[in-house]
Structure 1
């Protein structure tokens, strides 16, 4: 049996989401837990790999909060447009990151650049971490210089 994987958006169920809320609680580990498993209609058990378990948990948690979910397969090699869309930037900006800044490894065949999905994700995580560290440093600097105390008393504007 061949299954075609396609992008799809799934809306949360209408009406009460008690079942989803219960499932979300069940999928949220309270402590280090054993390997998750699914039980098939015929009673067969199959272990769920950790990445699949995390995705299932995130999907159920989001849907229990009334959010829609989009599931989309990704090739392991992306075009510059696909990578730019994933990083929420324009394609020309991404090309500058690739060519000038060498921020993400890529291959080029003729005029076409290809980027590994794992390199795009690594760049995304690295920049997210760098931004968080910069914000933490700014907050620490503000606290050291007394900026937070300077704003504790409201200023009369009228």
Structure 2
């Protein structure tokens, strides 16, 4: 078994700041499959607790673990954020894949709700997800309209 001292220092940091290695991708893929099979066979996931007694992990939690492993096995960086989380402007910008100054403009225009904590702005995760969903819906509507216009043009 490999201990953390056998691992390069840059590999000890979590997957929120770097892409997974090939070994981590492979490990995650195998683990996701094994957990899915175990859950299907047992109606949940069972692991050994500190005292060696089996601990059953609820199916909803097992599904969350499988989803997490699926992202890692796809080679993605992963950060877990509680739904009730208040994000810094940099964290929110990273989640939207935009610059922090651009996010700040969105906040000032009122497109995303935020709270002031001292001199800092904090963005509730649900507000960020709401903005993301609205933006995706607008993009989808625009694509549908472009498609419709393209078909109209082709028929003319």
Q: Smaller-chain TM-score range?
A: 0.5 to 0.7
Contact 1:77–1:114 (Cα < 8 Å) also in 2 = yes
Q: Which residue of 1 aligns with 2:107?
A: 98
Residue 49 of structure 1, CA deviation: 1.8
Equivalent pair of 1:7/1:73 in contact (CA under 8 Å): no
RMSD: 3.7
Q: Residues 53, 7 of structure 1: CA spacing in aligned structure 2 closer, same or farther, 3 A cutoff?
A: farther
Q: 2:75 is matched with which residue: 68, 76, 85?
A: 68
Residues 1:84 and 2:93 aligned together:
yes
Greater relative contact order, per chain length (Cα 8 Å cut-off, separation 6+):
1
Within 5 Å, give how 1:22-33 maps onto structure 2.
Answer: 23=33, 26=36
Question: In structure 2, do the counterparts of structure 1 residues 21 and 140 end up closer, same or farther at CA, with 3 Å as the change threshold?
Answer: farther
Aligned to 1:37: 44
TM-score, structure 2 normalization: 0.63
| Residue number in structure 2 paired with 1:154 | none
Total equivalences in the alignment: 130
Q: Which one has the largest radius of gyration? A: 1
Residue 53 of structure 1: aligned partner:
63
Q: Where does residue 8 of structure 1 map in the other structure?
A: 14
TM-score norm. by structure 1 comes to 0.62
Structure 2 unaligned regions, length at least 5: 1-11
